[in-house]
A and B are shown apart, each in its own frame.
Chain A
Amino acid sequence: MHILYIMISFLLDGILSNYFTFPFLPLFTLSSLIVSASYFSEKSIYLFTFFIGLLYDIVYTNTLFFHAACFTLIMMVIRVIQNKYRLEEFQKIGLVIVGIIFYKFSISTYYALVMHFSFLKVEFLGAMFFSLGINILYVVPYLVYFYVKNKTSKYYF
């Protein structure tokens, strides 16, 4: 279920790139990885994130290993927060916000250093707010589903 959700998000990122214009890009792959991270063991989520990041590099961008490394680093930060605080389903929205801000800063720095793009080109703030909004909207149904599922589970207390 979680893997399917991540794979669908990955494909949606590609499909929607044709309908959203720059700098308003969806980051569904990253947000789906973040919200479903707690359902995997630590080792498997790191490996899976690395694999998805690598796939993202190969298929969508030509920045080989950038997304693989960046997504995994973000996942490590997310897991540290998750291990420290026991988060409810809806509190994961906070993790999505942390992840997207981390990603936007990383990719802007990377493009500025490697490809000499200016930060202005990335239209940083506008793009960030858009990405945050659309990703929160995207993960909410998923979080609602698991919130209801956990509430009705006989092991929930």
Chain B
Amino acid sequence: MSQTRRFYALDVLRGLAIALMILVNTPGSWEHVYTPLLHAPWHGFTFADIVFPGFLFVVGAAMAFSMKQAPRSLATVQKILKRTALMFACGLFLNWFWLLEWDNLRIMGVLQRIALAYGVAALLVLYLPKVAVLPSALALVAMYFGLLQLGETPYELAGNWVRQVDLAVFGPAHLYKGFGMPFDPEGLISTVPSVFNVLIGYWVADSLQSRMPLVGIRWLAAVGAVLVSSAVLLSFVWPINKALWTGSYAFLAAGLLVWLLAVLVYLVDVRQLKQLTEPLRIYGTNPLFIYMLSFIWVWRWVVCCILNLQVKWFL
């Protein structure tokens, strides 16, 4: 399996994540959506819940190639911080674009979480030896478990520590309000375990490079099985919850994505079904732009058509 082809499978996975994100975010009516395309209301896991970790996974996987030759220098750190800041700013812009006001501007969001998780993961990859990447990813999840226990009711909406920290740092006006009270599903503290999903993507892509197709697929199947089994066992003490990004959720999503990557490597490298996967690869060539464009498109659709509000400008 050549590096190019394995990279191709990751490009296909990135495109698939974009396509699924648009599929989940643009129903004709939110009142008439098939349940798997809706996020779990609190505890639980649906098909839609795999999309966001999918983005983080491919960000990490891409790092296995982009940071291969990166020197441990101030210039590299500056480059990482610049990308982090720019991505965070793009997310902030989308939040502002939603309401066109500053007083209730939501600080965190999907792009912001991707930015922060990328920044932390990239610095860890840059400065840690390769063998320490996976243990550090697991340590972050363990640390998050400890942090969550500081909340009055660690796994409830009102009393979880993610919410308490966000309220203290950002204030209620700057949090997501879709849960009936200010609570950000992309909170500051819950970004810690999302770094795990980036680092798993990095570790998987890096490890896969030295394995031939069928060996690689078997290895991916085994890694996926370990992650999914761990998630199931962990869920007895730590409920699967996307909004809190619990360890069981992070493990389950990562395991399913590893299995999905195994399927894509099989289609691309073993079956050579490039024609089938090429449209998805093309989808993944401009991920940030397409994400932002679709977000703005959805905004237009929600505001203009569903809420029937008067739009302030240009639409």
Partners in one complex: no
